[in-house]
Amino acid sequence: MTTIVIPYSGYIPGGLHIGTDVSISGRTHHDFKRFSISLCSGPTWDSDCAFVFNPRFDDGRVVRTHKQGGTWGVEETDGGMPFRRGHNFDLHIKIDHHGYKIKVNNRHFCNFHHRLPKEMVQYIYIEGDVYINFIQFSEHRHGVVPSVVPSFAPAPVPAYPAGAVFPPVPSYPSAPSYPPAYGGGPLYNPPVPLTTPIQGGLYHGKIIYISGVPHHSPSRFTINLACGSYDSADYGLTFDVRFNYSNCYNVVVRTHRQNGSWGPEEKHQNYFPFSPGADFEIMILAEHNAYKIAVNGQHYTEFFHRIQPLQRIDYLNVTGDVRLTLVRFQ
């Protein structure tokens, strides 16, 4: 059986969903100290990670945590050490509404509640004192026979020095190399204002990622999901970030526009996630009833559909006081 080269970074086609089952088979080194399996937004855990599973034989525990904005979360360590040096293992991670259910060698080991949206996960990253023989993602939805995602070639990732303390800081290109999106690849540093087709069209399950930096003295910037590329097009969603505009300060207004008329505005928010001159990433997930919107890996709001069918919406439009660094469609 071919062993996957470690460190290993692999793109997850279709991402994670409720019902996804991740199966990993491998063997620990004879002098196993620690290894980690991370579900990340980018190719390594240098990006945000929704879930990190980190067996530490030298500590006699398995650490479970997450990472957001460069900061590691609270560690969960109960359950002991189910791995042995130089022994084979089978690991299963099941995603459900509440979080991740983990089995080791067909025995339930632990649960880990969602801290970041599962929809942000695009990569699996494995490193450390471990051999990996097999990785499989399967789907169990509504009683349908599971579909299997075939293996894919590992992306080369720099190794970390022997004896490094987890987590080391890996050296990785600042511009991630994402796989081609539907109808084309990501847009790096596109100009603003931006009007671009939504690659592959809009449908339930589609995700739009927008990364950028507000100007240092911004008034507002606006993201529109538009029914066409012309100025008077209907907007299925307007996400209007207002730092200082029209008597609004640090408010995100959500609304729509149809037949030239603006709809009711939604302004409720628990916090304002944007700062002048600070990087951000917005993730817009189209679901059956609403758009789910996360900012910097954290769920921010929902906006129920006012224009349907979603296929009418075929363009992304961004204007205002912002510099875009990346736009991609999944």
Q: What is the pLDDT of residue 163?
A: 36
Q: What distance in Å separates the CA atoms of residue 4 and residue 153, rounded to the nearest whole number? A: 9
Length of the chain counted residue by residue: 330
Tens digit of pLDDT for each residue in 198-220? 988 999 889 999 999 999 999 99
Q: What distance in Å separates the CA atoms of residue 7 and residue 35, rounded to the nearest whole number? A: 10
Higher pLDDT residue, 144 or 60? 60
CA dihedral 329, 193, 303, 281 (to 10 degrees): 60
Query: What percentage of residues in the chain have a pLDDT greater than 90?
Result: 59
Q: Do 227 and 102 share a domain, yes or no?
A: no
Q: Which residues are CB-neighbours of 70 under 8 A, at least 6 positions away? A: none
Q: Do 237 and 313 share a domain, yes or no?
A: yes
Please check whether residue 276 lies inside any domain of the structure: yes
Q: What distance in Å separates the CA atoms of residue 267 and residue 254, rounded to the nearest whole number? A: 7
Task: Return mean pLDDT, the chain.
Answer: 84
Please check whether residue 315 lies inside any domain of the structure: yes
Q: Which residues are CB-neighbours of 124 under 8 A, at least 6 positions away? A: 8, 9, 10, 12, 22, 37, 38, 39, 40, 135
Q: What distance in Å separates the CA atoms of residue 278 and residue 250, rounded to the nearest whole number? A: 14
Higher pLDDT residue, 165 or 5? 5
Please check whether residue 200 lies inside any domain of the structure: yes
Please check whether residue 169 lies inside any domain of the structure: no
Q: Do 131 and 193 share a domain, yes or no?
A: no
H-run or E-run covering 233: none
Q: What distance in Å separates the CA atoms of residue 216 and residue 29, rounded to the nearest whole number? A: 50
CATH number at residue 216: 2.60.120.200
Amino acid at 127: E
Please check whether residue 216 lies inside any domain of the structure: yes
Total-model pTM: 0.49
DSSP states along 89-154? EEEEEEE-SSEEEEEETTEEEEEEE-SS-GGG--EEEEEESEEEEEEEEEE--TTPPPEEEPP-PP
Q: What is the pLDDT of residue 303?
A: 92
pLDDT at 145 over 80: no
pLDDT at 70 over 90: no
Q: Do 279 and 215 share a domain, yes or no?
A: yes
* Structural domain span for residue 266: 187-329
Q: Do 113 and 199 share a domain, yes or no?
A: no
Considering only CA atoms, which of 80, 79, 89, 78 is closest in space to residue 60? 80
pLDDT at 36 over 80: yes
**Boundary-marking domain end, from 99, 121, 149:** 149
List the strands of the sheet with 123-128, edge to edge. 8-11, 123-128, 35-40, 49-56, 61-68, 71-72
pLDDT, mean of residues 241-253? 93
C-alpha distance from residue 36 to each of 8, 28, 95 (Å): 11, 11, 18
Q: What is the number of domains present in the chain?
A: 2
